[in-house]
Structures are given as C-alpha cells and as structure tokens.
Amino acid sequence: MSVKAILDEKGRRVVTVAPQETLRSAAALLNEHRIGAVVVLEGETITGVLAERDVVGAVARHGASALDMPVAQLMSREVHLCSEATSIHQLMETMNRHRARHLPVERNGRLIGIVSIGDAVRNHIRTIEGETEQIKAYIAG
C-alpha cells in the first residue's frame, strides 16, 4: 500500500498559506477546514509547514501578539516530504523518526497532496482488518 492509495481515497486538496500571512489568518484556516496543518508556499515552492503545535508554541512564547506575526517566523522550516510511491510503512517510519504529523506529498518538486498520521493509521488498520478477514476465510474454508 502506498501514499497514492491514501490520496486516491481522501483527495489531493491541500490548504496552503503564503509566508507573509499572519498566524491569525492561518489559525482561522486550520479551524475553518478542521485540519491540523497548512503548507506554506512561496510561489510553488514549499517553504514550511505550520501545524497546530506551532500555533500553540508561538502563543506560549509571544502571547497574543503572535497572532499578528507572519507565518514565516513561526512555521517549521524543516519539511519532510514524501511521494505517491512512498509505502505506508516508510511513511509511518518517517513520521515517527522526525515526529512529523503531516507530510506534504510532492511530484517533480510540486505539491500534490498532504498526508497525516491519522491517514496513515486509518489505512494501516484497514489493511490489517482485510488481512484478518482473509485469514478467517481461509481457516473457515
């Protein structure tokens, strides 16, 4: 199973922000779309990811004034990417190793989707459940 299967199921829409957007507007997008992260794009180049934990950290460090700061000052700049060909096992390993809950998916240097740890876990559970049903059918048959 690969990242492509996840994207085929959930879709490839990604909510993005520009680096100069304020934390306030990015937080509003997180809330509006009920998501945990936005990808920060400068033109078509991925420059960072702003996740819920970045928002909490910014408010903890800077107080309410963080809301008027540009996303570029608060985002995670170390972005770990994956491709559609990345296996679910590789995806989960990368997320674990880098403590990343969201990985942008790229093809030829362009953003084509995003996967979350929740997407990976749901897919993994579904695979295990399918295997369990196959084993039950084999034993019963």
Q: Percent of the chain having pLDDT more than 90?
A: 79
Q: Percent of the chain having pLDDT more than 70?
A: 100
Radius of gyration of the CA atoms of the chain, in A: 17
What type of residue is 75?
A: M
- Domain ranges in the chain are 3-140
Q: What is the model's pLDDT at position 123? A: 83
Q: What is the model's pLDDT at position 52? A: 95
Q: What is the model's pLDDT at position 31? A: 97
What is the pTM for the complete model shown? 0.85
CATH class name, domain 3-140: alpha beta
pLDDT of 115 > 90? The answer is yes
pLDDT of 26 > 80? The answer is yes
Query: What is the C-alpha separation between 45 and 61, in angstroms, rounded?
Result: 28
